[in-house]
Amino acid sequence: MKKKLLSVMLVGAMVASLAACGGSSSSGGAAPAAGDSTAAAVTAGGEHTLTVSAWDHNFNIPALEAAAEDYKANVDPDFELVINEVSGSSDVETAITTGGSAGDYSQLTDIVLFQDHYIQRYVADYPDAWVPVEGADIDWSDFGEEKLSYSIIDGQHYGVPVDNGTAIFAYRVDILEEAGYTLDDVTDCTWADWIKIGEDVYNKTGKYLLSMDGEGNDLPYMMLQAEGASQWKDGEPYITENETMVQIINVIVEAVQKNALYLANNWSDYTDQTIQGDMVAGVMNGNWIIPTIEQVEENSGKWEITNIPTLNGGGGYAANGGSSLYITSNCANVDLAKDFLAKTFGGSTATYDKALTDGGVITCCISAGQSEVYQAGVDYFNGQPIYTDIVEMGTHVPVVEQNDYHYSCRSLIASAIINIAQGGASTEDALKEAEDQLRFEMGL
């Protein structure tokens, strides 16, 4: 009897869970189920409807919502933007590469958002997946040149920028003061001086002056760009023979050895332990790192931002990360898509102001960066008007040669740095190894 009861319960539980699974896949439930909205999105195709894929609930999705609201209020009252929420930029990238191998792009939304470094390769590899935004009413000269350089292919504009990747160097002014320094000492300084300050700060306060994710190490790229140099030359890796590169690697290794720089094991250690866990007195990265810094409320008012040190002094400017919106060939209403992008992210103050207040998305559109919302001082950064400052800094970022193999290069250089700093490999050997492997991956 007991056994019978148990088996009935077991079967009941299985049926219930089956029903639950079936239910969630067909009705979608309360959470924004990606599969569901894709199905709706791809088949929608109405006169006033567009679909878009994006991934960050606290960042780019509020920006898109702001744009949709703006367009609805000022252009087309019937307009509707269906946002297909995915878990990350890599989801969009996988959809494109697998769509390419199936020869079927019908699962892509009308507009997709993804990281800037890929578009050159994707237009080359999957030419029929994209529609250029040529003919849209956008004043391109109003955007930072460096940002646009990613999405111009054969003279045609493919993407409309959303956020701005301009790098900032934020410092905890209170910790600097404790060690006897001010923000002026780390502005326009050389890396050599910076390391000395870092050593002092560590000895006096126990905090590192900077941290970075050791595996996805963006420092070499940003530091090179601040020098106006690139890790690429004529489409090939330019590493061992690139003196600036070698000098920069030496700076990084020295900074690690002198406890000015801490390399975290991974991204979550970098954000959670080092930045939010109060291990550091400085953060250098694309400005999208600001919301991460702001999570620690008790440090409000203690941070300020400035430019990046360089090898020979004088402020450096760089950019890291950031994404743009691209129209796919699956879009049935290209004119609407172009008009939507032009009248929102193409320079609308209403869109950009709301994107900033709701999602912390900072524009690279120069005129939109001069609005009142942008000029307001930010309490967290001691009243500094950081948003105008960042848009202004963005105009100084030098355009350097880019390559599709950006992320492969990044991880190989990161490995080289770990091997030098930890394993005692010589800079020359480690960089040689990285360059060889990179050339191998590129099939050179």
Q: Mask of contacts with another protein, 177-216, x by CB under 8 A?
A: -------------------------------------xx-
Q: Output phi, psi for 361, to 5 deg.
A: -85, 120
- Site residues for another protein, 223-262, by CB under 8 A, read none
Q: Measured from the CB atom, is 190 or 411 closer to another protein?
A: 411
Contact indicator for 372, 146 with CB cutoff of 8 Å? no
Rule CB under 8 A: is residue 407 a binding residue for another protein? yes
Q: Measured from the CB atom, is 103 or 155 closer to another protein?
A: 103
Q: Mask of contacts with another protein, 276-295, x by CB under 8 A?
A: -x------------------
Tell me how far apart the alpha carbons of residues 72 and 340 are, in angstroms, rounded to a whole number: 10
Helix (H/G/I), strand (E/B), else coil: 401:
coil
Tell me how far apart the alpha carbons of residues 92 and 121 are, in angstroms, rounded to a whole number: 14
Residue 93 Cβ, how far from another protein at the closest point, in Å?
5
Contact indicator for 248, 195 with CB cutoff of 8 Å? no
Q: In this chain, which of 261, 414, 431, 435 binds another protein, going by CB under 8 A? A: 414
Q: In this chain, which of 26, 121, 134, 192 binds another protein, going by CB under 8 A? A: 121
Rule CB under 8 A: is residue 423 a binding residue for another protein? yes
Give per-residue burial for 345-376: e unless 16+ CB within 10 Å, then b. Answer: bbbbbbbbbbbbebbbbbbbbbebbebebbee
Query: Comparing C-alpha atoms, which of 70, 58, 56, 86 is closest to residue 359?
Result: 58
Contact indicator for 301, 382 with CB cutoff of 8 Å? yes
Extract the tokens encoding 368: 């939109």
Residue 56 Cβ, how far from another protein at the closest point, in Å?
18
Rule CB under 8 A: is residue 265 a binding residue for another protein? yes
Residue 265 Cβ, how far from another protein at the closest point, in Å?
4
Contact indicator for 309, 46 with CB cutoff of 8 Å? no
Q: Mask of contacts with another protein, 81-120, x by CB under 8 A?
A: ---------x--xx--xx-xx-x-------------xx--
Rule CB under 8 A: is residue 436 a binding residue for another protein? yes
Q: In this chain, which of 11, 20, 125, 428 binds another protein, going by CB under 8 A? A: 125
Residue 125 Cβ, how far from another protein at the closest point, in Å?
4
Tell me how far apart the alpha carbons of residues 140 and 162 are, in angstroms, rounded to a whole number: 13
For 120-178, where are the E strands, in sequence order?
130-131, 152-153, 156-157, 159-161, 167-172
Which residues are near another protein by CB under 8 A?
90, 93-94, 97-98, 100-101, 103, 117-118, 121, 124-126, 128-129, 214-215, 263, 265-266, 269, 273, 277, 404-405, 407-408, 411, 414-416, 418-419, 422-423, 433, 436-437, 440-441
